[in-house]
Structure 1
């Protein structure tokens, strides 16, 4: 795993909805230094899109290859 345990915080927030059912939300927070180490921090240029998206045929080919690899 690319993160150490102390670099992550997981929060569970629960509440009772109007219909009486419990609802839960999970929030995952990562330490900014860990994101920088992986090149994922929003302040780093590598984390932003810097060019056009690949053409549609490229995405379609990737999906075809992914389906071929599945074993049922």
Structure 2
């Protein structure tokens, strides 16, 4: 994975909706320095990644996941 556990934070926010039922939302935060490593930063002139690409298994796992979700 391109992020270490210290670089990512996942928050669960729960509450009652207008109808009285409980619902939850997940918020994901990533340190800006971790995004810079992947070439994602405000000074980036284009949408092309300027950092190193994630390993091949990362792309393969994403393709498998996308294929399963399409079924």
TM over 0.5, shorter chain: yes
Dislocated runs of 4+, deviation >3 Å: none
Which residue does the alignment assign to 1:9? 9
How many residue pairs match? The answer is 50
User: Normalising to structure 2: TM-score of the pair?
Assistant: 0.59
User: Normalising to structure 1: TM-score of the pair?
Assistant: 0.59
Return the index of the structure with the highest Cα Rg: 1
Which residue does the alignment assign to 1:37? 37
Separation of aligned partners in 2, 1:26 and 1:40: 22
Structure ranking higher on relative contact order (CA contacts 8 Å, 6+ apart): 2
Does the 8 Å contact 1:36/1:44 carry over to 2? no
Residue 10 of structure 1, CA deviation = 0.5
